[in-house]
Structure 1
């Protein structure tokens, strides 16, 4: 038995509320269960109950055993002086306020139907991956779809927090924020932090000015990345290095150190040289990119904006001084899909919130067009009968696994609550 189950029972009144009595045999009538805020202090705030003929307003504290009150040292905390009812599963000791008045106790297990307890035990049985893996596919389709929507926007709220941080750092410069976020995602998992540091090291005002000169922009990003630190015979390398030193002198930029970019374990198309050049060409081709991003409504429009390749030098190179067969290195649709999921959608969502607009349906419709992600979590859900048709569903499932399943928060999850009602 866990306290979160008792919280669930009290919050949703999943017990016989008509015949409640305290351990002192006084009748209890619940007027209001209280607000479940999950803050420090008592579990439920601003509750209203009647004990006997006396109406009380205050807070409710819930424990497995009455003695947990002392185990948690509530007797030393004045925040618990306002508790009007102590709800427990087992009563093993009386509890007193600091003025020596006894706190009434309600033993909840006396009023919970056996099937609710058995449902809880079935749900919380030892798991191999998630508790409900054998039952999740049985959830009503409409209920599950609605839960996925809530999960999706929970995930977007989490993704919006670093965007707000960047806005504060850049004096609300949305173009600068977008540049940093795109850079991070162009770097993928391995080079994401390095690319992010590169973008933040360069004032975006300089990016704006130099975006009209492709070599200048590429030299800035390559120079800050450390890719120009060595000596090579390659003419293009020397041109970039010369341009970089000219620009840092022109703009009086200080030398910064970022995490070294990695080539190891990358396919050549994902080499940092190629991804940085593609990012440079995007900003060379698309001026005022932020205003375009916020106006995009369909995947086709996004593919058109991001139809860019690495620079001409990189058509027959993956690294400096090493020639390779000629190949146009355009951004693939699968790579652009990642940008949609991790940059474009979060930026559109956050900007709309700041502007007071609602674009929830537009975001869902856009991600409905994007192919489902492929990773071990999505594959596992698929094996349980939860087959994702698009990126909207995969993003929602990732939120479900990371924020609910991994934290055993079944009683805060719609799936868990449905199974508690429906298990036989």
Structure 2
């Protein structure tokens, strides 16, 4: 036991305890509930990709430290993917960095690019690691809240969350260093439009801001929505760090293979921080992901269609159970409004839900600085087997009574 009165935990992290994901996953296990809280698939991705990892292991590719920036095969595949999908050209040797998932990419980018006191604008609600990484870097987070643009629809999902561009512009001060953008957006499922992204790009250029874009759900956009990388807008390639990941696209979240693409100076800066975090990671899996990125368009089309069908299944079930449903344009999460059920405290609702009907969800308020803004919203993940979603829907319908 320490004799010092000083707290053991660094004060920058004092506000961050055990994540809600750990709490709710433990609750799911303890109660035998269906876990629609944490966003991970319950089946593996393509067999050919898994076999590519096995082949790399057996042939000794990546079993020792891979190159710091990532294996050349993967960096080349990432460049090809960005060119084929978006018309963006990058140098695989100077403008790509492989990371331990998108989470390390976020951490390394913020640690590299922020000085203490710098302000970071982030769209609220946001993935919880954003706040922790900004704090570790000594930055100050400035939330700009995405708000419901209309009352949530039922099965038709008429409601959505929208970015107030005037509020975004007003949030910029002389201390603003960068904007941290996430589209398709977790947890709301919002996909920023071309017009919204153009406005962000114009603001960044006008105020000389850097932008970090988390685009890990780039291949999960529905109903004709379009994912457009911010780096493709005029003036943005030189000031944007784009983050991608294999976990969400290929359903191998445990492999932890992510990457950034950016101009050479930005990659060099992020690499300087990343080398003292994990240094290198996931050697054999990097070779497998290189093959995965070269899968034919039919894989990506089928992947998207499968998740859209699951989205529709869960959205319809939630509406039938009495939730207000914001049917997402992207990601694999559905945000719901619990007020039609006669309650408004998402934390209490989610902690009671496993005992009530054997399903686990996540209260969106954990993703907000302004907790009151997120209080009535609850997130469900639909990246599960269809049979699991059907059982979850059957259990949730008991709430309608």
Return the index of the structure with the highest Cα Rg.
1
Could you say which structure has the higher strand fraction? Answer: 2
Q: Which of the two has greater helix per residue?
A: 1
Query: Does the TM-score normalized on the shorter chain lie above 0.5?
Result: no
TM-score (norm 1): 0.21
Q: Higher relative contact order at CA 8 Å, sep ≥6: structure 1 or structure 2?
A: 2
